[in-house]
Chain A
Amino acid sequence: MESVYLAIVLAPLLAAIVAGLFGRVIGRTGAHLLTIGAVALACALSLLVFKQQVIDGAEVFNQAIYTWAVIGDLRMEVGFLIDPLSALMMVVVTSVSLMVHIYTIGYMHDDPGYQRFFSYISLFTFAMLMLVMSNNFLQLFFGWEAVGLVSYLLIGFWYTRPTAIFANFKAFLVNRVGDFGFLLGIAVILMFTGSLDYYEVFERSEALRAATVEVLPGSAWSAITVACILLFIGAMGKSAQMPLHVWLPDSMEGPTPISALIHAATMVTAGIFMLARMSPLFEYSEVALSLVLVIGATTALLTGLLGIVQNDIKRVVAYSTLSQLGYMTVALGASAYAAGIFHLMTHAFFKALLFLAAGSVIVALHHEQDMRRMGGLRRYMPITYWTCLLGSLSLIGFPGFAGFFSKDGIIEAVSEATRPGAGLALFAVIAGVFITSLYSFRMFFLVFHGQERMDEETRSHAHESPWVITLPLVLLAIPSVLVGWWAVGPMLFGDFFGSTIFLLPENDVLGRVAEHYTSPLGFLLHGLGSVVPWLSLAGVATAWYLYLHRPDLPGLIQSRLAPVHGLLVNKYYFDAFNERVLARGSVGLGQGLWRFGDVKLIDGALVNGTARLVSWTAAVVRHLQSGYLYHYAFAMSIGLALVLGWILLRG
């Protein structure tokens, strides 16, 4: 099997290298055929692996591929851990990636960087696969930073745009704040378990639980709590949880296909995946899980609100992604890891679909992204319209759609949770339902219904996108609608994950939900009995009323609630704080340290005395006409001679 796994990761890597280095030689068609072929191969093999792991119940594969370095007893290796969790992630990554590859043919059609783009997205696929298939922390960190690198390159793909190169710089730095925590978390784990291998670490988690770390003098914290919080800081960066969420909306400066692939479906869910993978550690830290729960709830609620005031179509979807990542984080914090992963999967499909649909609209309108200059597009682009509707319904958790099952799973699980923060989280995820459908259908109505607000020129060109764009939309719509029916039973309540996800009996919230579970239909009917689907419908109705029925009202509300609107438009002032205080403060600090510390204190006070000596030496040197080098050589020999002479006399 090892060769199959290797083929899965190496095919996209090789395609990326060839398309990147020899793009001109193989041409545009060569580049997309090659990369699509490689990713299709990876996808097909991933499906095979999925079948073996999940349906045939094959043994878990856990093996090193090569030894990166050995320092004493510490072996650092690159290797694969293939179990149902990684198999599922491999399928999600490669299938969405394949769709995005095909879509890119249409979306990037006119771009001069066509081959480079295909090279990057194949490289991303490789890095993401290495991340999810890893069996150790070193490779996890490798993949973690590598996907960050490709994200950096792709956000800044249009490198002449000032906003794009600001956004990619920002994304890298904010992610580095997360990675800073992540790396320290790995250091805690290594210190107390002596290993970087997942299984060895899990086996030795006893040692982590027994140990303490003195973070502040005199206060010993449980090592496992410190480790989990630090790992979670890493997840907060990559999965854009508050307050490290600020990079994701800006990442929309990148081309839309990568917003779908990287900044919605796969990379940003790496943090969720990692926490689920680490369940054997997190389960032993109530404190860390509570923190996860609270951060997730805050993110789910507050970023959703921001989605309501956005006018850029991609930014609405971006804030929606933030909010849904918050939902997944809440699930993890409630110990419902399976529910988090389930939502990760459904979200990957419907969110990729929504982004690609948004991209289809953007292409049709000649790169117009402002929804205030859209409207009534239903008539021009029926496939985009219908697939976008299906995606939106899945996102808002419309009963029967995939998103319904996964979101309801989270809400049910949270309602069973008892740890500190659970009350807040339950409120956030329920209130979030209304907010989600409000911003989703605000966007949907503003784009596809109502008045046509674009100019005549744009309108005359508006048309449905070519098949390379609509085919992925249709293919993604299928799982967005249906996958819940198949997955809810095994993933939430069955033994899909087997021993991959570890649960303490007292934390088994999904087990408690499962007591009422009979079938997907039963789950659906049970859900209908709660307030959740009605909140969702209320959101749609509100959006319809405000944006189609009484389009004059939003402006009125906005002016009445100016302070609230200001707060939302300014994104709670996170960006302002980061730019004015943190960024400028750091540069200012650097200036201060340099001008005062280096120039004034060290050079001025310490070396200046010497500086006089310098000019004196220079004068002597000039006087001697011998050149300071000979002078120096002379001084050195004299010194040596004197010292040797001294030894001689003593000896």
Chain B
Amino acid sequence: MMPGILSTLIWLPVLGGLLLMLLARGGMASQGGAAPALPRLFALAVSLLVFALSLPLYFGFEQGTSQMQFVERLPWIERFGVEYFLGVDGFSMPLILLTTFLTPVIILAGWDVIRERAAGYFAAFLVLEGLMIGVFSALDAVLFYVFWEAMLIPMFIIIGIWGGPRRIYATLKFFLYTFFGSVFMLIALVWMYLQSGSWSILDFHALPIGLTEQVLIFLALLIAFAVKVPMWPVHTWLPDAHVEAPTGGSVVLAAILLKMGGYGFVRFSLPITPDASALLDTFVIALSLIAIVYIGFVALAQSDMKKLIAYSSIAHMGFVTLGFFIPWAIVANSGGTDGISLGIAGGMVQMISHGFVSGALFLCVGVMYDRVHSREIGAYGGVINTMPRFAAFMVLFALANAGLPGTSGFVGEFFVILASFKAGFWYAFLAATTLIIGAAYTLWLVKRVIFGAVANEQVAGLTDLSAREFLVLMLVAAGVLWIGLWPQPLTEVMMPTIENLVDHILQSKVPE
């Protein structure tokens, strides 16, 4: 039997990664010095193949329906009703494409930078790619949970082996936070299985649940997803993880792993516990606004480039959770449902855009770090003089981070701010402060690092982008500009799913 497209996308990179590891053990391992060419070529080939194979998900995607597509459903552990159940809708499909698009980029970014145990490094990213696609396409709760947890293993390896000096501390902090969150999620999933007699997430969606139970489930899921997003105040693992992670690790962490939290909200929390969401929405909105405002100011105070971008990530992810949790406030304030889908679409677009923009910024820091071996802002100044082509990219991505119209960074924030006004003046007011604060920390970074006279000898000796680095940044820049100039191809595949979710969440799940 031919495996389905989703299975291929999951298992091809996983198997490719495992194979690479085996081969590396068998004598292809680096002998010091230059990285061997074969592992990275192999990894790149696999990731490009995966990307090519993922394109039918978009072009073959049936628009105008919120039904799951490309479904694969086989019994797995029949005794417990666990199934191998995969499928995608307008929420998961774009995230999968983001994953398959960025993985080759990440592999290219590590091309001749990673010299120690290079085969293992590339293998870890391939395995990670497959598992992340698994998270986005799993429709069985056990399968989802297995991917969700397993995905962390390659991530730990990436930070733990190729990371910076405090990598052990960072990994453990990351571990504790996520483990703490996942346990609660598991309990909630099991409870729902016991109620519905099925592990299917779609069955969970249809499950009537009393208000008290909804609140408990909601809180359990909130902990799991809030850690991933991450939301204030469970965010402090992220800056540490970013600082210690190698460039590729930071990119995948910011671009895709953080999206797991946002995805969790639209896949689980909103449709399963709408009444609890309606009850506790103000709480989540408050956390989102704190992320936008408070974390924005914190970003302003950073002197480490990676920390600054990490905090900026948290602030930008605030728009995702804000967009997802304003529906009830909109109904309460305006009496209508106009703007709800705008907010959710904003959150979704923001996730994709953030994948490009924050990924790109981490790539940029990587480019500089590879040359100067410092992440301190103070170690730079006037980089534009010696790296003009790099500076052009960095300024572009910085402006996208500051939400400039025409770049992807604008679209999601614009939608969410417009929508949040319908929920209340002050929601929009606080959210819109990102226009000022976001521009302040991002452009101040650019001013200190990129512009100015050549600050020191190291900057004077910099060489501009290599062809490989140029290609890497070019690919991401294309994504940033495409979504900024014409988001319609992205939003139109999401809309039916969003409309369906809106219908879903406005109906009570509390049994009569």
Interface residues of A (CB under 8 A from B): 66-74, 141-142, 145-146, 149, 156, 159-160, 162, 165-166, 169, 172-173, 176-177, 179-180, 183-184, 186-188, 190-191, 194, 213-215, 226, 586-587, 589-591, 593-594, 597-598, 602-603, 606-607, 610, 613-614, 617-618, 628-629, 632-633, 635-636, 639-640, 643-644, 646-648, 650
Contacts and interface: CB of A to CB of B under 8 A. Distances in A.
A179 B486 CA distance: 22
Given A180-B436, A632-B175, 17 more contacts: A69-B491, A74-B342, A142-B405, A145-B405, A149-B399, A176-B436, A177-B436, A183-B432, A184-B429, A590-B300, A591-B301, A593-B298, A594-B297, A603-B236, A628-B160, A640-B146, A647-B193
Contact of A146 (B236, B298, B339, B405): B405
Interface residues of B, number: 82
Interface string B293-323: 0100111111000000000000000000000
B173 A614 contact: yes
B16 interface: no
Contact of B179 (A166, A194, A635): A635
B345 interface: yes
A629 B294 contact: no
A187 B80 contact: no
B172 A618 contact: yes
B307 to A, nearest CB: 9
A594 B384 CA distance: 30
A203 B164 CA distance: 60
Contact of B421 (A179, A180, A184, A591): A184
A242 B226 CA distance: 42
Nearest to A175: B439
A212 to B, nearest CB: 11
A141 B405 contact: yes
Contact of A191 (B334, B433, B437): B334
Given A586-B440, A614-B173, A180 B433 contact: yes
Nearest to A144: B405
Contacts of A587: 300-301
Which has the most chain B C-beta neighbours within 10 Å: A187, A606, A640, A646? A187
B208 interface: no
Contacts of B439: 172-173, 176
A149 B402 CA distance: 11
B171 interface: yes
Nearest to A614: B172
A590 B301 contact: yes
B487 interface: yes
Given A160-B382, A184-B429, A606-B233, A594 B488 contact: no
A274 to B, nearest CB: 15
Interface in B360-374: none
Contacts of A594: 297-298, 301-302
Contacts of A73: 338
Contacts of A177: 436
A165 B451 contact: yes
B59 interface: no
B136 interface: no
**Listed residue (B187, B345, B439, B487) with the most chain A CB atoms within 10 angstroms of its CB:** B439
A162 B492 CA distance: 46
A338 B141 CA distance: 65
Given A71-B495, A187-B418, A629-B153, A590 B297 contact: yes
Top 4 nearest A-B pairs (CB, nearest first) are: A590-B301, A187-B421, A590-B300, A590-B297
Interface string B153-173: 100110010000000110111
A69 to B, nearest CB: 5
23 contacts: A70-B491, A145-B404, A145-B406, A160-B452, A165-B447, A173-B440, A177-B436, A180-B436, A586-B297, A594-B301, A602-B233, A607-B173, A610-B176, A614-B169, A614-B172, A617-B172, A628-B175, A629-B156, A632-B175, A639-B186, A640-B142, A646-B190, A648-B80
A632 B152 contact: yes
Contacts of B298: 590, 593-594, 597-598
Contacts, number: 182
B488 A68 contact: yes
A643 B190 contact: yes
Q: A591, A603, A618, A636 — which one has the most chain B CB atoms within 10 A of its CB?
A: A636
Contact of B436 (A169, A173, A186, A591): A173
Nearest to B160: A629
Contacts of A618: 168, 172
B477 to A, nearest CB: 12
Interface of B: 79-80, 142, 145-146, 149-150, 152-153, 156-157, 160, 168-169, 171-173, 175-176, 179, 183, 186-187, 190, 193-194, 233, 236, 294, 297-302, 334, 338-339, 341-342, 345, 382, 384-385, 399, 404-406, 410-411, 414-415, 417-418, 421-422, 424-425, 428-429, 432-433, 435-437, 439-440, 443-444, 447, 450-454, 486-488, 491-492, 495, 499
Contact of A176 (B152, B385, B405, B435): B435
A328 to B, nearest CB: 25
Contacts of A629: 153, 156-157, 160
A82 B168 CA distance: 63
A184 B428 contact: yes
Nearest to A159: B451
B4 to A, nearest CB: 25
B261 to A, nearest CB: 18
Nearest to A606: B233
A162 B447 CA distance: 9
A591 B299 CA distance: 9
Contacts of B385: 160
A562 to B, nearest CB: 36
A156 B450 CA distance: 12
Nearest to A113: B388
Contacts of A639: 183, 186
Nearest to A142: B405
Given A165-B447, A173-B436, A648-B80, A71 B415 contact: yes
A629 B151 CA distance: 12
Nearest to B492: A70
A327 B234 CA distance: 52
Given A159-B451, A190-B418, A590-B297, A647 B190 contact: yes
Contacts of A187: 417-418, 421, 428
B487 A68 contact: yes
A74 B443 CA distance: 32
Contact of B153 (A141, A172, A632): A632
A593 B294 contact: yes
A191 B487 CA distance: 22
B425 A214 contact: yes
Nearest to A636: B149
Nearest to A635: B179
B236 A602 contact: yes
Contacts of B450: 159
Contacts of B411: 69
A393 B182 CA distance: 75
Contacts of B194: 647, 650
Contacts of B300: 586-587, 590
A12 to B, nearest CB: 16
A71 B443 contact: no
Contact of B297 (A160, A214, A593): A593
Choose among A67, A71, A226, A644 the residue with the greatest number of B CB atoms under 10 Å from its CB. Answer: A71
Given A72-B342, A603-B236, A165 B432 contact: no
A647 B406 contact: no
A633 B149 CA distance: 8
B465 to A, nearest CB: 15
A311 B450 CA distance: 32
Contacts of A194: 338
B486 A71 contact: no
B486 A68 contact: yes
A129 B150 CA distance: 53
Contacts of B424: 214
A145 B405 CA distance: 7
